[in-house]
């Protein structure tokens, strides 16, 4: 975040609250704050995924100046990225949800999770949410910033962090 021009202060930018329904967290763009729903987070691994998901939204808010409230395509793109990069669609999570397949299952999961997230925060039809996701899916699914790759597990996350630390080195030698 700091590298992208947005300072983060954990005391100001994170809040733990009780939430209604089965929401695990959210990003409040009005105050640039991540809200963790303490009553709905089951364990450390779940919290890690929620924090990562919401940090992707915070990163998009900083980097892309997302118009969350009036442009559903901006929201759709950030939701696709968050579902893709946060671990929401890991094989293990999908097996626990009893959703798994072989061909392009990760993409299907990302698409479905993005649509569900949009419907949770916007009062629009499922068809409108699907249309927005379809319009942005290809480019947003392939946007892996700030990781550079999809961090499928801790090893890939370490590789992504190493790549991030070294990415300026490559460009400085050109």
Residues taking part in catalysis: 54
Q: What are phi and psi of 75, to 5 degrees?
A: -60, -45
Can you tell me the distance from the alpha carbon of 117 to that of 76, in angstroms, rounded to the nearest whole number? 9
């Amino acid at each position: 975040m700091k590298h992208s021009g947005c300072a983060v202060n954990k005391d100001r930018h994170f809040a733990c609250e009780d939430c209604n329904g089965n929401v695990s967290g959210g990003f409040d763009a009005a105050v640039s704050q991540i809200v963790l729903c303490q009553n709905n987070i089951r364990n450390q691994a779940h919290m890690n995924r929620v924090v990562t998901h919401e940090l992707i939204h915070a990163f998009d808010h900083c980097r892309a100046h997302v118009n969350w409230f009036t442009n559903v395509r901006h929201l759709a793109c950030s939701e696709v990225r968050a579902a893709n990069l946060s671990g929401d669609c890991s094989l293990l999570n999908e097996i626990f949800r009893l959703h798994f397949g072989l061909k392009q299952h990760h993409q299907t999961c990302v698409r479905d999770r993005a649509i569900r997230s949009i419907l949770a925060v916007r009062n629009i039809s499922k068809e409108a949410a699907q249309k927005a996701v379809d319009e942005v899916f290809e480019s947003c699914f392939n946007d892996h910033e700030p990781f550079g790759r999809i961090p499928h597990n801790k090893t890939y996350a370490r590789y992504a962090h190493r790549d991030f630390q070294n990415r300026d080195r490559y460009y400085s030698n050109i």
